[in-house]
Amino acid sequence: MNANEYRGEVSVEIGGEKRILVLDWDSLARLKDDIGDNVFIELDQMVAAMDVDKLSRFLAEALRRYWPEVTPEEIRRISPPLMSAQKALMEVFHLAYFGSKEAPVEEPEENPLGQNGLAGTGSMTPEAPPSSAG
C-alpha cells in the first residue's frame, strides 16, 4: 500500500516494513488526551529529550488506522531510528493540519486607512493646507 498525501498519509519504514501513518481527528483527540494540549510542540521535545515512551505512543497512534494491533510497546521493541520517526510524524502532523506539504502563506492584511492610518495619504504627517501666496 502506498501513502496518499491527499488523505494525510505518510509512509515510513518500521522493522523492515513500509507502514502508513495517518492522523485523523479521532487520533488527534486521543493524542491530546494522552500527551497534552500542545502535541506539535511536544513532538520536538520528545525527540530532543529522547522521551521514547511518549514518542512510541505518538507513533502507535499514527499507525493505528492501517496497523490497529500495534502498541507503543511493539514500537519500542522494534526501535525505529528516532530521526526517521520524528520526520514522518512531523510530516503526518503537518498534513493533518494543513492538508498539503506546504503550510499556507499568510498574506499581510492591507490597512484600508493606508500605511499610517490616515485615509488617502501616504505620508506620515497630515497634509498641510494649501498656502496662499500673496
Please give the pLDDT value at position 119.
53
Torsion of CA 97, 45, 36, 27, to 10 degrees: 40
Structural domain boundaries enclosing 20: 5-98
Contacts of 5 (CB under 8 A, 6+ apart): 95, 100, 101
124 inside domain: no
Query: What mean pLDDT is predicted for residues 94-120?
Result: 67
pLDDT average, residue stretch 32-37: 81
User: What is the grid cell recorded at 87?
Assistant: 520526520
pTM given for the model = 0.69
- Checking if the pLDDT of 102 tops 70, the result is no
Per-residue confidence (pLDDT) for residue 108, from 0 to 100: 67
The answer to the question of residue 51 being in a domain is: yes
Q: Between residues 8 and 101, which one has the greater pLDDT?
A: 8
Q: How many whole angstroms separate alpha carbon 111 and alpha carbon 53? A: 48
- Report the domain count for the chain: 1
- Asked, for residue 129, whether it belongs to a domain, the answer is no
Instruction: Give the per-residue pLDDT at 42.
Output: 72
